[in-house]
Amino acid sequence: MSDKIEFHFSSPEDSPGYLLGQVTMLWQRRQKKVLDPLDLTQTQFALLAALGWLSRTNPAVTQMDIANQTNADRMMVSKVLRTLEEKAFLTRQEHPSDTRAKVIQLTKSGTAVLRKALMAIEKADVHFFSAAGENLRLFNSTLAGLIECNKEE
């Protein structure tokens, strides 16, 4: 007979980690549903969106810029960007002043797929998060605070 396992929370629904995990799984499932027809994963979309966002003000976006914007692992970003390059959604060229870096740019097809994906994802997000109602602003603020407090870990 095994020892009784003790939990800090009296039920899974009292655990913020459990709840966040459940919401994340459901949200990712919704994202997959709208991104599959565009031949994108949620991670590929996130990196394309970061590139699109950063390109608005920076003509020489690097892999490091994208990793920092998304709080993603640098090696994972490199692999996913390579896949997106193979799909002809972006190009990677020599950086004009940093020989170790590459400038990442959207191609015409990358811009087109990002526009379609943004419309689909934003519509899906509005629907998914509508349950928060008038608490959405507080929810977003709380999430932003959690990101800020924990991004260095």
Tell me if 31 is assigned to some domain: no
**Count of other CB atoms within 10 angstroms of residue 39:** 10
Q: Name the percent of the chain lying above pLDDT 90.
A: 83
- Per-residue pLDDT band at 1 (split at 50, 70, 90): low
- Per-residue pLDDT band at 115 (split at 50, 70, 90): very high
| Token pair listed for 73 | 């692992």
DSSP letters for 88-107: TSEEEEE-SS-TT-EEEEE-
CATH number at residue 109: 1.10.10.10
Strands 102-106 and 90-94, sheet pairing = antiparallel
Distance of CA 71 to the CA centre of its chain: 9
In terms of residue numbers, what domain contains 61? Answer: 40-127
Number of structural domains the chain divides into: 1
Tell me if 97 is assigned to some domain: yes
CA 67 to CA 61: how far, in whole Å?
11
**Residue 55 belongs to what H/E stretch?**
helix 42-55
Tell me if 44 is assigned to some domain: yes
Entry pTM: 0.87
